[in-house]
Structure 1
Amino acid sequence: MQRRSVMAVNTDTSFLENLAPNVAVQFLDRVASSPNSEAYRYPKGSDWESVTWAQTGEMVERLAAGLLSLGIEPEQRVGIASGTRYEWILADLAIMCASGATTTVYPSTNGEDTAYILSDSECRVVFAEDDEQLAKLTSHKAELPHLLKVVTFDGATDGDWVIGLEDLAKLGDAFLESHPGVVAETSRAIGPDQLATLIYTSGTTGRPKGVRLRHKSWVYEGAAIQVQDILHEDDLQFLWLPMAHSFGKVLLSSQLACGFATAIDGRVDKIVENLGVVKPTFMGAAPRIFEKAHGRIVTMQAAEGGAKEKLFKQAFKVGLEVDRLTREGKSIPLGLKLQHGLFDKLVFSKVRDRFGGRVRFFISGAAALNQEIAEWFHAAGIVILEGYGLTECSAGGFVNHPDDYKFGTVGPALPGSEVKLGEGDEILIKGPHVMDGYHNLPEETAKTLTEDGWLRTGDKGSLDADGFLTITGRIKDLFKTSGGKYIAPSAIESKFKAVCPYASQFMVFGNDRNFCVALVTLDPDAMDGWAAENGMAGASYTDIVRSDKVKEMVGGYVDELNSRLNRWETIKKWELLDHDLTIESGELTPSMKVKRNVVEDNHKKLIDAFYS
């Protein structure tokens, strides 16, 4: 078995001694220390409504008391089936303060899987966003014998099984009258090892698995960010990430620890518009957001053509060269420096303005970010800090620092945790953020956690001399060609997305075959723009991608990709699919990860035909 020495990122773990005992106390401490500071703002009509920590605390107390009045006991599960919005945060914090355990459900999860998650977790109460989410519960009511009450944000109530958020708050008011101080008392009684959250991984195979995460895990996540001085009270976050995903929960924990304000709106189609209005100083996102933004900016400039496009390309050529010289510690020639200053005013400032103009950095997680795209944004003065973690380690395991980052890595391990490489260079993690185990799945837990507490991530990686981690890929996704060469498909797929601004998905196959092939899908929004500029305005996605002109265009990008690959990695044959991958088709998880095995099964005949 291959061994590596343990790499501790920070020998000073004194901050661990001063952690709040649980998330509820962490929240109440924040309310007490920053009562009049802005906590959240959220869209209300065409404007944004702002609330302070004190106002948030008052509403959370009412809702937590309401849950206690319904009989919620320590560690009993309470579900949230909703998109990202202010009410999601209120519900989650109320569950924490009532000593319950939040069970998260993506709003895109189908009725059958929603029922499975709520049944397996034995949820007693569920917060349901609207009538669409309510319909999933009512149609599967017989499968949910533990479900006593549903609280809806916007859906229709029946005054009995389904009540509104304000109805729950009024139940809380009555309970507080007869039990003053009950929420603070309940919060203080929660132990660090008590179950706080049950997050069901959307998994690319099989049924979702419930990951059991303790209060101390979330408190640790926020404190580990705070102690590194990454975020401060005067920062402003824009939050759109699905709160059903553990990445969103890390950002909430960081907010409680650091005290910054958060503008929250989960509508993905509003991200760019909202950034211009909110003008945040940072935002967390998945790589797909940066890929789409990069593709949109590049294609918009290409459509302009002429002098503007030449200016744009020259600006980034200069910006990337200045960045390279800076990283290598070399001096920048005066002429290049003057050009860079001019391009910053003419080009880069406009790119930054698209994101509000105040962003100190973005944090990218949930999947690998292509290094070329990170460097492209950096040339425009936008820093993207890549991080890494799994739901099984409360999402946050590694992150680059604004003052100390390396492109292509996910940074060092969080302070107070450890990392080592096991057999086959598998990344192993240990620390307060590692899960308690999988809910009702002792055998799966034993496969994933070693007896001495190390989490087997299933990812292959390498550590440099400074402890910065580079992810090579998912071990189970690596395959070997019939010629004996190992292929990391995710690395090739990521490179194509950097090369082709129209790409949505690029899936590489070739296990035990003599060459690699790919299935390609294009971004529907980007192709609408392409169609308008190429005489196909109004045509369907299928007709657009079947056109000879698009096939020729994609072929050019595949050739460019191949020029950057080793001979055995090159894509010999490829095909454009007549549809993009979707959650509804079962080819994407709710967190937008590709279910490679489903795609391969769905298109087995096409893949086999490549080799016939």
Structure 2
Amino acid sequence: MNDLKSATSYTSTSLHEAVKLRLDEPGSFSKSVLPQTIPQFFREACEKYADLPALVWETPGSGVDGWTTLKYGQYQQRVEQAALMLLSVGVEERSSVGILAFNCPEWFFTEFGALQAGAVVAGIYPSNSAEAVYHVLATGESSVCVVDDAQQMAKLRAIKERLPLLKAVIQLHGPFEAFVDQEPGFFSWQKLQERTFSSELREELVARESRIRANECAMLIFTSGTVGMPKAVMLSHDNIIFDAKSAANGLKDVQVGEESFVSYLPLSHVAAQIFDVFLAPVHAGCVTFADKDALKGTLIKTFRKARPTKMFGVPRVFEKLQERLVAAEAKAKPYSRLLLARARAAVAEHQITIMAGKSPSIYGSTKYWLASRIIKPIREMIGLDNCRVFLTGGAPTSDEMKQFFLGLDIPLGECYGMSESGGAITLNVEISNLYSAGQACEGLTLKIHEPDCNGQGEILMRGRSIFMGYLGLPEKTEETINEDGWLHSGDLGYFDAKGNLVISGRLKELIITAGGENIPPVHIEELIKKELPCVSNVLLIGDHRKYLSVLLSLKTKSDGKTGVPLDALREETIEWLRDLDIHETRLSDLLSIPADLQLPNDTAAVAAALEITAEPKLLEALEEGIKRANKHAISNAQKVQKFALIPHEFSLATGELGPTLKIRRNIVHAKYSTVIERLYK
């Protein structure tokens, strides 16, 4: 291993300072993972697995059947070429390389190449505005930015003059505007690849790599906050490698050289970094890249090609899969639907028996064997028939969704982590229940801070994957990591009798009523969604109010290309309405609002919300569902008194969801403030 860089503190808020590593953490696993730089880690994997497939991506008109496969040995060559390309355009040591692109092999080449050249990686969400891109590049002291296409290049053209440290912008994919490769500082990836690099530049690359230390910053993860510009979370080489190896150690039934992953979640998020970029080399796994429309409907196509063995998805991804399967089932003949329902019930019953640690009876095993034969074609249809581990995280996963997938032999194991923890802290792989996030990964420690009488309090975590600090924000860093190295997560939770972590809410999301009662909104929102299968989104209101209310959106279809919610209702909504003797199939007819629901701006959405006049039968049914949910309320203060319908589902396109598909609560509150005020008159 390389010597560590001299450091005086366990935290840092500068790209030019290293940190002390907590090498004395308890447990044999921590001691077995020696500090290592990411270039060292990457080279070891590529040399060890040189002839195994590493990356696969679609290349229409070329490759084998329109797909290209890159082996680990070739992967290493492409990364070294990328490092030389970055050096040739002026990348500076300890500066960052911004990457503004959707998942693609060049993302990986740029990342490992930048790290090999002694720089820091800063991923940028493709959906970011030009001003948000500026914030990342300015904060991260970027000397180079790699962009996807002409659309992203336009953002850089608008801000480049304000970034004196930015020497070069490299565009990956065409079409290219005339200024690319003509004006100073603008390059095409293809033209740079064609260059022959001098021996002097290669020697400079070797020298730079020799100066990298494991306790220096390797990556900036910009947290997607709901207020103000996001903070830059600094992760060291050791943070990232330790978390990847800890997570890999927690995955069971690993088959080296046979593991398959699909890359589709934003690579600017820590979960995709650990799961896509770093887990694969640990086990010689192969990563297949989805296309840009993955989250709009094409993901299943990539699953069918890759046949992943392990899958991680935020709940919204699994929700989209569920919607597609429910819609397909609705078109089946009644006998087929009945047969499938019974098969799902038998599979779920078997899975619950296994989770409880019991041995299935001969009758139960036989019933499961027969039922699984009926279920298997569904898993094959969505390309998940080879998948052995299904992980979800990033937001709460409803019990209803877990039960649905359990019936398809797809037990969803929640995992828990955050950008500041360097990735996964828990992995619920050996699932013993459907309510917890499992236990801490090897080498990481959890505790509950100041627990109440029910054992609930803020979740604290400690270990070698805990971040260095927030770049340029020493006070925020001190607020988040205490002197003993415990990271304050801001999440609420408790441990069950077996030591599993149960996430119960978010400190900052707590609603404090006018009566002073603290209420976690997610629990109440999930209760209502369980009672009302026609509802897509529930948002609880009531901070400093006399009572609670909710905003509801009904389930509709969405545009496959843009993700914009459409006017057409989903099949499950239509079926639910039929039971009420309501036969509308379009949201505009159901709510008596203008038919064009591809709303161009917030003003139009609010105007439509204020005009809603739904049928009394619909309003009564929604009210009854809320009353049923209220029966499970812990106190009268936690019962919902009023509700309002809004004119479309939450989405990325309309701004209510962030890049990782979490609800941006403050955005929704601001957008529908007039609707909310009407609930309290």
TM-score, scaled to structure 1: 0.90
Q: Give how far 1:555 is off.
A: 5.6
Whichever residue aligns with residue 174 of structure 1, its letter is F
Question: What SS does the corresponding residue of 1:446 show, helix, strand or coil?
Answer: helix
- Write the distance in 2 (CA, Å) between the matches of 1:433 and 1:575: 43
Return the match for 1:201 from 223, 243, 255.
Answer: 223
1:216-256 deviation line (CA, Å, top 9, x unaligned): 11111121123335444211111211101111111111122
Match of 1:263 in 2: 288
Residues 129 and 155 in structure 2, CA contact (< 8 A), matched pair in contact too:
yes
Whichever residue aligns with residue 38 of structure 2, its letter is V
**What are the residue-to-residue correspondences of 1:581-596 with 2, within 5 Å?**
581-583=650-652, 585-596=654-665
Task: Please say if 1:573 is aligned against 2:642.
Answer: yes
Match of 1:7 in 2: none
Q: Structure 1 residues 498 and 91, CA, compared in 2 at 3 Å: closer, same or farther?
A: farther
- Write the distance in 1 (CA, Å) between the matches of 2:105 and 2:494: 39
Task: Please say if 1:367 is aligned against 2:380.
Answer: no
Q: Structure 1 residues 563 and 541, CA, compared in 2 at 3 Å: closer, same or farther?
A: farther
Match of 2:580 in 1: none
Return the match for 1:521 from 530, 539, 553.
Answer: 553
Q: Structure 1 residues 588 and 325, CA, compared in 2 at 3 Å: closer, same or farther?
A: closer
Return the match for 1:235 from 251, 259, 266.
Answer: 259
- Write the distance in 2 (CA, Å) between the matches of 1:102 and 1:457: 24
Q: Structure 1 residues 307 and 358, CA, compared in 2 at 3 Å: closer, same or farther?
A: same
Return the match for 2:92 from 73, 97, 100.
Answer: 73
Return the match for 1:189 from 211, 216, 225.
Answer: 211
- Write the distance in 2 (CA, Å) between the matches of 1:550 and 1:112: 43
Return the match for 1:161 from 185, 191, 194.
Answer: 185
Q: Give how far 1:598 is off.
A: 2.1
Q: Give how far 1:574 is off.
A: 1.8
Residues 587 and 594 in structure 1, CA contact (< 8 A), matched pair in contact too:
yes
Residues 22 and 190 in structure 1, CA contact (< 8 A), matched pair in contact too:
yes
Question: What SS does the corresponding residue of 2:90 show, helix, strand or coil?
Answer: coil
Q: Structure 1 residues 307 and 515, CA, compared in 2 at 3 Å: closer, same or farther?
A: farther
TM-score, scaled to structure 2: 0.81
Q: Give how far 1:325 is off.
A: 3.6
Q: Give how far 1:27 is off.
A: 0.8
Match of 1:19 in 2: 34
More RCO (CA 8 Å, sep 6+) = 1
Q: Give how far 1:584 is off.
A: 5.3
Residues 204 and 593 in structure 1, CA contact (< 8 A), matched pair in contact too:
no
Question: What SS does the corresponding residue of 1:420 show, helix, strand or coil?
Answer: strand
Task: Please say if 1:120 is aligned against 2:139.
Answer: yes
Whichever residue aligns with residue 249 of structure 2, its letter is V
Q: Give how far 1:564 is off.
A: 4.9
Residues 87 and 201 in structure 2, CA contact (< 8 A), matched pair in contact too:
no
Root-mean-square deviation over aligned CA pairs: 2.9
Residues 36 and 53 in structure 1, CA contact (< 8 A), matched pair in contact too:
yes
Residues 504 and 523 in structure 1, CA contact (< 8 A), matched pair in contact too:
yes
Residues 205 and 595 in structure 1, CA contact (< 8 A), matched pair in contact too:
no
Whichever residue aligns with residue 82 of structure 2, its letter is L
Return the match for 2:450 from 423, 430, 444.
Answer: 423
- Write the distance in 1 (CA, Å) between the matches of 2:596 and 2:569: 8
Residues 536 and 555 in structure 2, CA contact (< 8 A), matched pair in contact too:
yes
Whichever residue aligns with residue 96 of structure 1, its letter is L
Question: What SS does the corresponding residue of 2:98 show, helix, strand or coil?
Answer: strand
Q: Structure 1 residues 583 and 40, CA, compared in 2 at 3 Å: closer, same or farther?
A: same
Query: Which structure: greater helix fraction?
Result: 1
Return the match for 1:52 from 60, 68, 71.
Answer: 71
Question: What SS does the corresponding residue of 1:275 show, helix, strand or coil?
Answer: helix
**What are the residue-to-residue correspondences of 1:294-373 with 2, within 5 Å?**
294-304=322-332, 306-330=334-358, 332=360, 336-347=364-375, 349-351=377-379, 353-373=381-401
Q: Structure 1 residues 340 and 498, CA, compared in 2 at 3 Å: closer, same or farther?
A: farther
Question: What SS does the corresponding residue of 1:50 show, helix, strand or coil?
Answer: strand
Residues 239 and 283 in structure 1, CA contact (< 8 A), matched pair in contact too:
no
Structure 1 spans left out of the alignment, 5+ residues? 1-9
Q: Give how far 1:514 is off.
A: 4.1
Return the match for 1:174 from 177, 184, 197.
Answer: 197
Structure 2 spans left out of the alignment, 5+ residues? 1-24, 452-456, 559-567, 576-582, 589-594, 599-607
1:384-431 deviation line (CA, Å, top 9, x unaligned): 221111111112211122x35532111212211211111351111111
**What are the residue-to-residue correspondences of 1:244-263 with 2, within 5 Å?**
244-251=268-275, 252-263=277-288
Return the match for 1:476 from 502, 505, 508.
Answer: 508
Return the match for 1:87 from 103, 106, 120.
Answer: 106
Residues 28 and 57 in structure 1, CA contact (< 8 A), matched pair in contact too:
yes
Return the match for 2:247 from 216, 219, 225.
Answer: 225
Q: Give how far 1:585 is off.
A: 4.7
Question: What SS does the corresponding residue of 1:447 show, helix, strand or coil?
Answer: helix
- Write the distance in 1 (CA, Å) between the matches of 2:212 and 2:492: 37
Question: What SS does the corresponding residue of 2:45 show, helix, strand or coil?
Answer: helix
Q: Give how far 1:482 is off.
A: 4.4
Residues 343 and 375 in structure 2, CA contact (< 8 A), matched pair in contact too:
yes
Task: Please say if 1:460 is aligned against 2:492.
Answer: yes
Residues 38 and 241 in structure 2, CA contact (< 8 A), matched pair in contact too:
yes
Match of 1:36 in 2: 51
Q: Give how far 1:91 is off.
A: 1.0
Q: Give how far 1:329 is off.
A: 4.4
Whichever residue aligns with residue 395 of structure 1, its letter is G
Q: Structure 1 residues 27 and 390, CA, compared in 2 at 3 Å: closer, same or farther?
A: same
Identity within the alignment, %? 25
Whichever residue aligns with residue 197 of structure 2, its letter is A
Match of 1:602 in 2: 671
Question: What SS does the corresponding residue of 2:118 show, helix, strand or coil?
Answer: coil
Residues 556 and 587 in structure 2, CA contact (< 8 A), matched pair in contact too:
no
Question: What SS does the corresponding residue of 1:397 show, helix, strand or coil?
Answer: strand
